[in-house]
Amino acid sequence: MTELNAAMVERYRSNFLKEVEANVEEGEWVKMCMQCGVCAGSCPLGNAWEHTPQKIFMMVRAGEREAVLNSDAMWMCTSCYNCIARCPRGLPITHIMHGLAHYAKRMGLAPKEQPTAKFAQLFWDNLVKKGRVNELKLGISLYFMNGFSEGIKTSLKMKDIGLGMLKTKRMSPMEMLGGHGVKDSAGFQKMLKKAQELEDKRISGSTD
Amino acid sequence: MADIKIGAYICKGCGLQDRLDISQLEMTATRDGKAVFAKTHDMLCSQEGVDMIKADLQGGDDAAANRVMIAACSRRAKVEAFAFGNTPTIRANLREGVIWVRPDEDEHKETTQEMADDYIRMGCAEAKAQEPAEASAEQQLDKHILVVGGGYTGLTAAIEAEAAGYPVTIVEKAAQLGGMTAQLYKKIPSCSPYADPQDTGIDAMIKSVEDNANITVHLNSTLTRTSGAPGRFAADISTESGSTTTENFGAIVQASGQKLYDPSGLSQYAYSGNADVITNLEMEALAKAADGGPIKRPSDGKEVKSVAFVQNVGQCSDEEDQLSYHSGWGDVVAIKQAMYFKDLNGSDCDTTIMFDNLRTPGAGGEDFYRSGQRKGITFTKADITEVIAGNELEVKFKDQILDNDTSMQCDLVVLDVGTLPNSGPDPYAPAAEEDEVVVNVDSILNLDYRQGTDLPHLKHGFTDSHFICFPYETRRTGIYAAGPVRRPMDLAQARDDAAGAAMKAIQEAENAGKGMAAHPRVGDLSFPSFRKEGCTQCKRCTVECPFGAINEDEEGYPVYNESRCRRCGTCMGACPVRVISFKNYSVETVGQQIKNVDVPDEFDEKPRILVLACENDAYPALDMAAMNGTEITPWARVIPVRCLGSISLSWVTDSMNNGYDGVVLMGCRRDDDYQCHFVKGSAMAAERMSKVGDTLSTLNLEPERVVIHEVAITDIQRAPQLINDMAETVDKIGMSPFKF
C-alpha cells in the first residue's frame, strides 16, 4: 500500500463514496446513478469487463474500495460514449470511469498486468521524454511489452507494414536516434513538475 | 292521454339513398309500423331537418306527432341534434346497423333492404310501446352535503363543496380535525421544484373550515343511522356522550381514510419490544418531537447518526396476513423522511433506503427521488433477511445488485408499512366458515338499507365501484368515496380525489332534485315502477339490485327509492312475473321489437338472429366495427339493452317461439375484474341464462341457439365475429322449426 493510499483510507474511513466524490474526476455524479443498467447494456465491451459501470457505481456506494480500484473495468473503456449518450440520468459515465482509472493509478492499486493500463504507462513514459510522442519507439515498446520473444514475433508479423510505411515516408528510422521534441524541453519538464505538484496538493493536500 | 302518433323520419344522407329503397322504407313505416306519416330528408341532422321534426311536435295534443322514429344513423351519433325533450325518440340504425356492415353489391341488395325494413318496423314498435319519461315530482333539491371524516380528504371535500355554494356538515370520529395528516411533520412536495419536504398546510385548512359559517363540524361523532336516498338522506349524528341530532342531506362523501399495517406479527423486523425499530408513521412523530433540532432515537435519546429505511414491510407480499398490494407512497415517504435526517441531523447522517422496487409516482416523483440522491441518500436494492436488535441495530440483507449477503449498522430502523382502508363491513362479504375468526368492523354509515349497512367493497376492502371507468362512484348511489378509503393514495392524489367526489356529490344532489338518474344514465328521468296486483312479493328485485336501491315494505312489496336507482333494469330482468317496468324501457318495448321483425318461412332460407347488446360496451363496439366496414350477417337484428341484467327471459323464449334461429347476448365482463357499468348486471344475466338450455330442450331446440358473450368496447373485430359465428351455427344445425 502506498503512503498516499494509506492516508486516503485513513481520511475517509469507511465512506468510499465521499472519497470518490472529493477526489475522482466527475465523482460527485456517482450518487445520482439510479441503477437502471442502461450503461451496462449499451457497452460494446460489457461482456469482457469484470464490472459494468452500473455495478462499479453500486460498489462505490457499498464502500467496496479495494474491489473498485483493483477492477479492470475502467481500463477496458474504449471511450465510445454509448453510455453517456444513453444514460437517462445524464451521468458522464465515460469520464467517471476514466477518473476512477486515474485515481486507482494514483493509489497504486491499478491492475498490474492489465494491457491497456500497461500501454497507458508506455504512452506516458514516451510522451514525457520530449513532449512529443515518438511513434516508432512507442510501437516497438508496445511489441516488446510482453517479453523479448513475443516482441520478435510481433515485429516479424508487422514487417511488411513497417517497410511500406518507410517507403511512403510515413515513418522515419531516424526517430530511433532521439527523435523530435518540443522546442523548450526544459520548460516542458518544468510545466510537468508544476502540474504534478498541483495534483498532489489536490489529492492529499486539503487536510494538511 | 293523447293517441299515439308516430312520426317516421327517414334520412337519405350518408349514402342511405344510394343503398336503400327509401320509398319502400316510407311504406314500411306507415303500413307496418303504423306511423301517421313518413317524411324523408336529404340530411336529417341538418338544422333544416331537425327544424322539420320540431315543427311536427309543436301544438300539444294537436301536434302532428308525439313519438319520433328516426331512421338514420346509430343512436350514438348526432345525439345533440336529435334531442326532443320528453318526446320518446327512437333511432332505427340504418347506417351503422345496415349499410355499413353489408357489401354494396347487387346480390346483397335484397337482404340489405330487408334489414332496413325490419329496423324501421322495430323502431315504430318501440315508439308505440314507450311512454314519455317524467320525473315523479316526489323529488326535492337538498344542497346540503355530508362529509364523513375530517381528515385531509374530508376537509378538502368540504372546502371545495362549500366554495361551489353547497353547505357542508363534517362528521369526525376523533376529538379534532386533521386525521392522519395532522400527525405528519411535513408532506411530500406537491409543486415544483419537488426538491424538499413541504409543510402539510393542515392547520390552515382546519382553521378555514372552523371559520366557515357554511361548514358545520361534529367532533367525537359518528353516524348511527343513515336512511333515505340522494336528495333526501337523513343521518343521525351521535356524539360519544350519547346525544343525537338528525339532519337531512342531498348527498354524502365518505372520506373515512386509512389505517396502517401493524408489523408486530413479522418477527424478522424485530419491531415488537424495540423502541428503535419504528413504523413510518411513528417516524413522523419522532421528527415532530425533534422540533427543528436533530432527531433523537426513542430508546436513549441519542442523536441519530445513521438510519435504515426498510421498504415493503408486510406489503406487496404473497405471504398470508400481509398486504398483497402496495401503498404507492411508501418509497416517496421514505425519501421524504430520509431528508428529515439530512436537514435536521446534518448531511453527515447516513440514510440508506433499502428498496425492492423503488416507486416514485406522480408528477414530481422522479424529481424528488433525484433530489434525495443529490442530498446523499443511499439507495440499496436489498432483500432484508432480518433486523437484529441491540444498542446498535444491525440490518442483514442481500444486496440484489452486487448479489452478496451483507449487513449494515445503524441507530434507527424505519419500517415502510402499507395501508388499509377504513371501510365499514362489506354487505356482500361471504358468510364466515364455522371455525373462522371474524373480526367485527364498526359500521361507518349505518345505512338503513335492505342490502347492508355500508358501501360494498371492491378489492382488499377498498370501497370503490370500478376504478377505471368511474372514480368516486360507489355501489350506493349518492354516496361517494374519496381518499385512501377508495384506493391507496398520497395527499396530492387525495386532494384531487376529494374535489372530484365533492363535484360528484353536488351533481347527484342536483340531479336527484330534478328526478334524474346519476351516472351512467345521467339525465334519465325514467324510474322503475311495478304493478302491485301482479307482484308475488318474491323479493328477487330487492335482493338483486346492484345498488341496494330497493327496500321492502312491511308486506314484503318492493319500495323503489328512485333517486338511488341507476336505471339499469336489473330488477326488470329479475322479476319472474314481469311487473316491473320503466316508462321508456320495459318488457314490452323490447318484446314488441322482437315480435315486429319479419321472420320469413323455412323455405326462404333466411334465418333470423336476435342480438341483445349492452348499450355501454357491445353496442358501441358494433358501431365501431361498422365504421371499419366489418361485415355482419344480414340475418342479425340488433337491439341495444340498458344492461344485460335487464334482459327478461321472456324475450329469449318469445323470439324462439316466433321462429328466430339464434339469440346472441352481449354483455360486459362479469368476473372479479368486471366491467359492467351496473356492477352485477352482466353476472346476473349469465346466471339467469344458465338455465335457458333446459327451456330450449323442452321446446326441442338445440341449446347452441342461445349464447351469451362477454364483450368489451374494444372488441371491435370480435363483436361482429360472434354474430357471424351464430349464423354459421344456424347453418350447421339447421333452421328453427318454429317458423310460420
Q: CB-based contact (8 Å) between B367 and chain A?
A: no
Pick among B379, B403, B406 to test the A interface (most A CBs inside 10 A): B379
For residue A204, what pLDDT band results from cuts at 50, 70 and 90? Answer: low
Return the percentage of chain B with pLDDT > 90, whole number.
Answer: 85
Q: CB-based contact (8 Å) between A13 and chain B?
A: no
- For the ranges A113-122, B8-17, B460-469, the lowest mean pLDDT is seen at B460-469
Could you give the CA distance from residue B183 to residue B295 in angstroms, rounded to a whole number?
A: 16
Evaluate the omega torsion of the peptide bond into residue B230 and state whether it is cis, within 30 degrees of 0.
no
Please indicate whether, in this complex, the C-beta atoms of A32 and B399 are within 8 angstroms of each other.
no
Enter the ipTM: 0.81
Mean pLDDT score of chain A: 90
In tens, the pLDDT along B420-439 reads: 999 999 998 888 777 777 67
> Which residues lie closer than 8 Å to A204 by C-beta, 6 or more apart?
A4, A7, A8
Map out the domains of chain A as residue ranges.
Answer: 3-111, 115-197
Closest by CA position to B723, among listed B682, B657, B664, B671: B664
Question: Who among A17, A34, A62 is closest to B402 (CB)?
Answer: A62
Contact residues, chain A, for B358 at CB < 8 Å = 34
What pLDDT does residue A49 have?
Answer: 86
Could you give the CA distance from residue B419 to residue B417 in angstroms, rounded to a whole number?
A: 7
Q: How far is CA B233 from CA B29, B229, B565, in A?
A: 47, 5, 14
Closest by CA position to B597, among listed B512, B513, B660: B660
| CB of B625 closer than 8 Å to CB of B716 | yes
Residue B267: all three cell numbers together: 418477527
Pick among A16, A56, A61 to test the B interface (most B CBs inside 10 A): A61
- For the ranges A203-207, B194-198, B293-297, B527-531, the lowest mean pLDDT is seen at A203-207
Instruction: Locate the chain B residue with the closest alpha carbon to A30.
Output: B373
What pLDDT does residue B135 have?
Answer: 85
Question: Who among A17, A34, A55 is closest to B402 (CB)?
Answer: A55
Question: By three-state DSSP, how is residue B6 classified?
Answer: strand
Contact residues, chain A, for B373 at CB < 8 Å = 31-32, 34
**What average pLDDT does range A154-158 have in this prediction?**
92
* Beta carbons within 10 angstroms of residue A81's beta carbon: 14
**What average pLDDT does range A78-92 have in this prediction?**
95
Pick the CATH number of A3-111 from 3.40.50.620, 1.25.40.10, 1.10.1060.10, 3.30.565.10: 1.10.1060.10
> Which residues lie closer than 8 Å to A113 by C-beta, 6 or more apart?
none
To 5 degrees, how large is the angle CA B545–CA B547–CA B550? 55
For residue B211, what pLDDT band results from cuts at 50, 70 and 90? Answer: very high
Please indicate whether, in this complex, the C-beta atoms of B399 and A54 are within 8 angstroms of each other.
no
Closest by CA position to B385, among listed B404, B411, B402: B404
Please indicate whether, in this complex, the C-beta atoms of A35 and B379 are within 8 angstroms of each other.
yes
Evaluate the omega torsion of the peptide bond into residue B193 and state whether it is cis, within 30 degrees of 0.
yes
Please indicate whether, in this complex, the C-beta atoms of B378 and A89 are within 8 angstroms of each other.
no
| CB of B611 closer than 8 Å to CB of B82 | no
What pLDDT does residue A207 have?
Answer: 44
Say if residue B608's pLDDT is above 60. yes
Say if residue A165's pLDDT is above 80. yes
Instruction: Locate the chain A residue with the closest alpha carbon to B403.
Output: A55
Q: Which residue has the higher pLDDT, B672 or B288?
A: B288
> Which residues lie closer than 8 Å to B108 by C-beta, 6 or more apart?
B102, B634
Residue B501 CB burial class (10 angstroms; 0-12, 13-18, ≥19): buried
What pLDDT does residue B468 have?
Answer: 64
Q: Which residue has the higher pLDDT, B539 or B468?
A: B539
Contact residues, chain B, for A17 at CB < 8 Å = 378
Please indicate whether, in this complex, the C-beta atoms of A62 and B374 are within 8 angstroms of each other.
no
Q: CB-based contact (8 Å) between A137 and chain B?
A: no
Please indicate whether, in this complex, the C-beta atoms of A61 and B378 are within 8 angstroms of each other.
yes
For residue B469, what pLDDT band results from cuts at 50, 70 and 90? Answer: confident
> Which residues lie closer than 8 Å to B600 by C-beta, 6 or more apart?
B606, B608, B739
**Which residue type occupies B236?**
D
Could you give the CA distance from residue B649 to residue A115 in angstroms, rounded to a whole number?
A: 84
| CB of B664 closer than 8 Å to CB of B723 | yes
**What average pLDDT does range B709-732 have in this prediction?**
96
Say if residue B1's pLDDT is above 70. no
User: Which H helix or E strand runs over B72?
Assistant: strand B67-72
Closest by CA position to B701, among listed B740, B663, B737: B737
**What average pLDDT does range B710-733 have in this prediction?**
96
- For the ranges A150-154, B71-75, B345-349, B463-467, the lowest mean pLDDT is seen at B463-467
Helices assigned H by DSSP within B576-648: 587-595, 618-627
From the CA atom positions of chain B, what is the Rg in Å?
Answer: 31
Q: CB-based contact (8 Å) between A36 and chain B?
A: no
Strand partners, B237: B223, B245
Return the percentage of chain B with pLDDT > 70, whole number.
Answer: 99
For residue B694, what pLDDT band results from cuts at 50, 70 and 90? Answer: confident
What pLDDT does residue B470 have?
Answer: 78
Q: CB-based contact (8 Å) between B370 and chain A?
A: yes
Distance between A150 CA and the closest CA of chain B, angstroms: 38
Contact residues, chain B, for A61 at CB < 8 Å = 378, 380
Could you give the CA distance from residue B559 to residue B502 in angstroms, rounded to a whole number?
A: 28
In tens, the pLDDT along B703-719 reads: 999 999 999 999 999 99
Say if residue B558's pLDDT is above 70. yes
Secondary structure, 3-state, B439-494:
CCCCCCCCECECCECCCCCCECCECCCECCCECCCCCCCCEEECHHHCCCCCHHHH
Please indicate whether, in this complex, the C-beta atoms of A35 and B374 are within 8 angstroms of each other.
no
Q: CB-based contact (8 Å) between A32 and chain B?
A: yes
Distance between A114 CA and the closest CA of chain B, angstroms: 23
Distance between A18 CA and the closest CA of chain B, angstroms: 10
Please indicate whether, in this complex, the C-beta atoms of A17 and B379 are within 8 angstroms of each other.
no
To 5 degrees, how large is the angle CA B205–CA B208–CA B213? 140
Question: Who among A31, A55, A62 is closest to B376 (CB)?
Answer: A31
Residues in chain B: 740
What pLDDT does residue A208 have?
Answer: 42
Residue B316: all three cell numbers together: 406487496
Sorted by where each starts, the structural domains of chain B and their CATH numbers stand as 1-132 (3.40.50), 145-257+422-514 (3.50.50.60), 261-419 (3.50.50.60), 529-572 (3.30.70.20), 599-740 (3.40.50)
> What is the DSSP pairing of strand B378-388 with strand B393-399?
antiparallel
Closest by CA position to B68, among listed B95, B31, B100, B29: B29
Could you give the CA distance from residue B676 to residue B673 in angstroms, rounded to a whole number?
A: 9
Question: By three-state DSSP, how is residue B139 classified?
Answer: coil
